[in-house]
């Protein structure tokens, strides 16, 4: 018994260490965003984490579970959620979204250890539906935002993902997108910092890094095949990959579901499906941002992925082929209607 307790204690220390490093990476993203928009970004970040901790504490009390002091999971959830929001987001959006993740998603399923549904993606989808006019409008970089006052809508603009959605080319260069000097969500625009975090995760030999690579490669290839813009397909695919929250989500959100997937085959299928649905929702959905909707759907499907044997991976590749054929037919029909 003493040995099992010691092992459990070691696991908890390792989990705490991993979550701390994960939070440091997210804090770096927020600091990068604060460079462009000011102190409001930091205040929104802290608000989300504090509300997430309070919501988690209440949920633990309501469910009668032991409250763990050495638990950074609520902070991770709050930090991930706020990184998906615009720097101009209202504090009410942050508060209600963080509480939605805790009370509507995590509480009914017994907390983050037992809930395989993405609470962060669900909270973002809730906000996207509730504040659709606000969540997809962003300030121009180097606009110093007021710390607490509401933002004048005249100061807000659309993101590069919106330009791609309209079939055009973003007015920002690829270099500006790599530096994060483009309108977008707080933690998703600076690709250099996201890439640096991915390198840190690889060096720490995190098991979920293959899921990140699978998601990004799938998304890039499908974007290349189904070019929805008037520009060069390769250039368009690069813009698609760098815009929105695809890169951020693939690095920070997708690998966190590895603990619910029973084998590597399930992880590959989960990642493939996330990439496929991200392209499908982005190209044919009503919002320019699609990743969280895709991740929410694939996280719900995790029990299904766990039931598929390694031999069934070939069948999933055939499914990808059928999906491609189906999307080709839809695109041809749209082209005929346009003519």
pLDDT value for 245: 92
Domain check: are 99 and 240 in the same one? no
Residue 206 above 60 pLDDT? yes
Domain check: are 335 and 295 in the same one? yes
Residue 295 above 60 pLDDT? yes
The whole domain housing 270 covers 158-339
Domain check: are 245 and 188 in the same one? yes
Residue 5: pLDDT band (50, 70, 90) is very low
CB 198: neighbour CB atoms within 10 A?
21
Q: How far apart are CA 201 and CA 18, in angstroms?
A: 10
- The count of structural domains within the chain is 2
Residue identified by tokens 């603990």 is 259
The stretch 257-276 carries a mean pLDDT of 89
Which residues, including other chains, have CB under 8 Å from residue 185's CB and lie 6 or more apart?
Answer: 83, 84, 85, 86, 138, 245, 248
Cβ atoms 31, 39 nearer than 8 A: no
Residue 132 above 80 pLDDT? yes
Show which of 117, 132, 157 is a domain's final residue.
157
Q: Which of 59-73, 176-190, 197-211, 232-246 has the lowest mean pLDDT?
A: 59-73
Domain check: are 14 and 113 in the same one? yes
């Amino acid at each position: 018994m003493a040995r099992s307790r010691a092992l459990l204690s070691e696991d908890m220390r390792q989990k705490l260490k991993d979550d701390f490093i994960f939070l440091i990476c997210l804090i770096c993203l927020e600091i990068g965003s604060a460079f462009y928009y000011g102190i409001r970004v930091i205040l929104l970040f802290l608000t989300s984490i504090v509300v997430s901790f309070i919501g988690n504490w209440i949920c633990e009390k309501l469910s009668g579970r032991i409250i763990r002091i050495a638990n950074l999971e609520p902070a991770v959830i709050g930090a991930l959620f706020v990184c998906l929001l615009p720097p101009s987001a209202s504090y009410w959006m942050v508060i209600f979204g963080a509480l939605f993740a805790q009370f509507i998603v995590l509480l009914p399923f017994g907390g983050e250890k037992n809930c395989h549904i993405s609470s962060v993606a669900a909270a973002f989808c809730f906000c996207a539906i509730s504040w659709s006019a606000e969540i997809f409008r962003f300030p121009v970089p180097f606009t110093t935002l007021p710390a607490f006052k509401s933002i004048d809508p005249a100061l807000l603009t659309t993101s590069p993902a919106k330009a791609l959605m309209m079939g055009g080319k973003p007015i920002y260069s690829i270099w500006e997108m790599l530096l994060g000097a483009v309108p977008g969500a707080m933690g998703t625009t600076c690709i250099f910092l996201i890439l640096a975090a991915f390198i840190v995760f690889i060096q720490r030999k995190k098991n979920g890094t293959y899921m990140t690579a699978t998601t990004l490669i799938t998304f890039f290839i499908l974007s290349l095949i189904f070019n929805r813009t008037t520009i060069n397909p390769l250039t368009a695919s690069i813009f698609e990959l760098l815009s929105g929250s695809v890169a951020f989500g693939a690095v920070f959100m997708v690998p966190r579901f590895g603990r619910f997937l029973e084998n590597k085959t399930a992880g590959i299928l989960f990642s493939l499906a996330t990439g496929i649905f991200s392209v499908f929702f982005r190209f044919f959905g009503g919002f320019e941002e699609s990743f969280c909707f895709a991740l929410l759907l694939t996280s719900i499907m995790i029990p299904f992925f766990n039931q598929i044997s390694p031999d069934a991976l070939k069948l999933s590749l055939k499914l990808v082929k059928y999906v491609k054929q189906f999307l080709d037919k839809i695109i041809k029909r749209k082209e005929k209607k346009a003519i």
